[in-house]
Amino acid sequence: MNMKLYLKTVSNWNWDKIANISVVIGVFLAILTFCHSNKQFNENIKNGEQLFKKDSLLLAKQIELSQEPIIRIIPENEVEGEIANFNLKIKNYSPSKLVNIQIFTDYFVAIRKKNENISLISFGTISTHPNVEFSNINAFETESFNISFNNTLKQMLDFYNSDFSGQRMMVVRLTVKYDRNLDGQRYIYKKVYIIAGHGDYLLDTDERGIRAPIDIFNLEDIKRIIGTND
């Protein structure tokens, strides 16, 4: 083989080899670029999901703080129980978790003589301690509790059945104090029932839409005096 032919063969071989190596390098770089792009894409998705989650939580908190958490004693209208003994429930109607729930009960005989204002006479032991407590009630959850007041009912009946001229009504007031877990804001809700029957019924007649004539003693007058939320 002469020198010209050898050089031509070597030259052709080198260029072919270089071309093949270039192709391999190009493919390798393309793979690296794809992997990097895919990694960056996944990171962008992850960051986007985290931002969305963060924004969603912030929005949920803002919505929660924008409205007062609602709590109610149920049944709201009529409760049948044993004499001076009732099973009730407290329901959280809000999306907020509520904590430090305290329920206080007090008892009155409301009286009014002709052409006089309504007076409330308190019965039972006055206490600064709640009758019922719950550490927390989650959003839209319900808890059960009991109120019992035999001795207090006897005192009330003694007065109610005494020789007294005028209108009278036995009532129980439930005062609920509770905090919103998110910011510690305290709220108060009050509920009033008439003690009816032989002391084995609780009634909230106004919530059923029954309103006596304006000149007759009624529960709505008592609610206005006590300052309930209903």
Of 117-131, 173-187, 204-218, which one has max mean pLDDT? 173-187
Count Cα neighbours of 90 within 13 Å in the Cβ-side half-sphere: 26
**Longest CA pairwise span in the chain (Å):** 144
Amino acid, single-letter form, for residue 149: F
Size (the chain), residues: 230
For the cut 80, the answer to whether the pLDDT of residue 137 exceeds it is: yes
Per-residue pLDDT, 214: 46
The pTM for the full model equals 0.70
pLDDT digits (tens, 9 = 90+) for 187-201: 999 999 999 999 999
CA distance 139 to 97: 5
Query: Are 79 and 90 spatial neighbours (Cβ–Cβ below 8 Å)?
Result: no
For the cut 60, the answer to whether the pLDDT of residue 110 exceeds it is: yes
Lowest-confidence region among 15-24, 172-181, 198-207, 218-227: 15-24
pLDDT digits (tens, 9 = 90+) for 115-126: 788 899 999 887
Once rounded to an integer, what is the mean pLDDT over residues 77-106? 96
User: In whole angstroms, how far apart are CA 96 and each of 70, 99, 140?
Assistant: 9, 10, 8
